[in-house]
Amino acid sequence: MNFQGWFLIITTFYHGLTTLVENRRDKPLGERIDVGGYYLHLYLKGQGSPTVIIEHSLGGIDGYFLIDQIAPLTQVCIYDRAGYGWSDNSPKKRCSEEIVRELNLLLEKAEIKPPYILVGNSFGSYNVRLFAHYFPQKVLGLVLTDGLHESEMLKMPLLLRGLKYFFGSGFVVSILGSSLGLVRVLGHLKIFELIKPELKNFPPQIIQTVKRSFYRPKHWLTMGREIWNLNLSGHQVSKANNLGDLPIISLKSKTFFKASILNFYLPINTVNKFRDKMHNNLLNLSSNSQQLPAENSSHFIWIDQPEKIVEAIQLLLIKTEFK
């Protein structure tokens, strides 16, 4: 057998053994709640009202980067969408309608009382808008962190559609890579930190919690399922385009991708012009919308400038007279 064969055998065995040990040793930070035959993980920190609910980006578990900074302000709730982190896979379609249904059921079963401030990062902006549409009496305000808007996403230019499918194919490859333990090896070699140097600003235990999810095939499978249903989610959220005078703060990063040697081949200017159109549409969701710039950030504001998300939440607390 050649070197590559032995390497894959060793990494697969190591990954399987390490996953088994982690599953027995690691305990969820919060609790796992049954939402209809499968369990979702939820974690609360801080005290007070309203409760801030963080709805992650596509493939992300961003709340772990934010919870310690938001908790001094009020109670904050992060949860792993089905398929991520400590949550089980869901047999239901991975689209905004199902995600919103699961989140509402989870909050009810956990007895987390409204009102809520919903923070939607990237794809999560679809979900929080739809939640506010279905349950307006529960929602005090929204923070959209470099949010998406379906009017542009559903008529995406051919070049950007190709980019979307390119990333989607990467998720499929990563299912195999995580099954063989290769993603875990890359994590141990700190490749994540090499790609995103800003990660060094966060405590090691947070980084390890986030990596734990990325090491598992179900994480990448769920990413693939969500991007596969992204157009369906876009059609579903189109009904949430008139949110009255609901306070909304839309955070806009300076650029979608920070230019680097790792992404020189990406059409960054084209992506940014496309994103500018989405941000203009986001400002029309409510008569009480406001845009805040994140001038030192890429699309990943929750890593690059998490303090801007905290600032947006503070502004909503002031606007809605919660101190």
Q: Which residue's structure tokens are 């709640």?
A: 33
Dist CA 305 CA 203 (whole Å): 15
pTM for the full predicted model: 0.91
> How far is residue 36's CA from residue 103's CA, in Å, rounded to a whole number?
12
- Tell me how many domains the chain contains: 1
Q: How far, in Å, CA of 174 to CA of 56, rounded?
A: 20
pLDDT at 73 over 60: yes
Domain that holds residue 140: 3-319
Q: Distance (Å, rounded) from C-alpha 250 to C-alpha 159?
A: 26
Spatial distance between the Cα atoms of 193 and 114, rounded to a whole number of angstroms: 37
170-209 per-position pLDDT tens digit:
888 889 888 888 898 889 889 899 888 999 999 999 999 9
pLDDT recorded at residue 123: 95
- List % helix, strand, coil for the chain (3-state, nearest 5): 50, 15, 35
Residue 286 CB neighbour total at 10 angstroms: 21
Structure confidence at residue 66 (pLDDT) = 94
pLDDT tens by residue, 216-265: 999 999 999 999 999 999 999 999 999 999 999 999 999 987 766 655 65
Q: Where is average pLDDT lowest: 90-99, 123-132, 270-279?
A: 270-279
CATH of the domain at 265: 3.40.50.1820
Bond into 115 cis (ω within 30): yes
Cβ-proximal residues to 64 (8 Å cutoff; 6+ apart), any chain: 78, 206, 209, 210
pLDDT at 146 over 60: yes
> Distance (Å, rounded) from C-alpha 266 to C-alpha 259?
9
